[in-house]
Structure 1
């Protein structure tokens, strides 16, 4: 077995990525327990909660990252940074 579970290569960037997502989910869970959210309307065409905006922001960042990797020859770190900014925009004003 050449990787931890035999089906995925756990490189440091992959481990950091998944750890960050788990950390975000834990923080959002504790935040929700401490201060329950209400739906609000931002620039998205639907009323959303914090959790909805996190999910939509993560999906948007993932799709942007895939498009960046597939359509440009530029450094992937730039695409990841733009995806992160997109997620923050959706979380704040979505």
Structure 2
């Protein structure tokens, strides 16, 4: 069923984190309904809005990292491509920042 995708450990961890976040946000929303607020984003957002924006940002960061990894290897004269764990950690930090301050 999932033969079309390369399921490496980082990919599995990334999608597992997304699933856990969605489940956690659902429980949080049931327990404590959200209110709109204004952060650094140019619109009023709810927790769900910030999660969606943060997940999109995390996905774009990971895609950019994968797309630029070969160039980064050349620019910094590395022997092998940099680890995707770097982009995972960075994208989760950006997601947390958007959720907290967005």
Task: Return the TM-score normalized by structure 2.
Answer: 0.77
Aligned counterpart, 2:60:
63
Q: Is there any run of 5+ residues in structure 2 with no aligned partner, and where?
A: 74-81
Structure 1 runs (4+) deviating above 4 angstroms are: none
The answer to whether residue 91 in structure 2 is matched with residue 83 in structure 1 is yes
Query: Judging changes above 3 Å, is the alpha-carbon distance between structure 1 residues 22 and 45 closer, same or farther for their aligned structure 2 residues?
Result: same
Partners in 2 of 1:67 and 1:47 — Cα distance? 28
Q: Is there any run of 5+ residues in structure 1 with no aligned partner, and where?
A: none
Counterparts of residues 1-94 of structure 1 (less than 5 Å)? 4-71=1-68, 72-73=72-73, 74-94=82-102
Residue by residue over 1:33-59, the C-alpha shift from the partner in whole angstroms, topping out at 9 and shown as x without a partner, is 100000000000000000110110111
Note the aligned Cα RMSD (angstroms): 1.7
Task: Return the TM-score normalized by structure 1.
Answer: 0.83
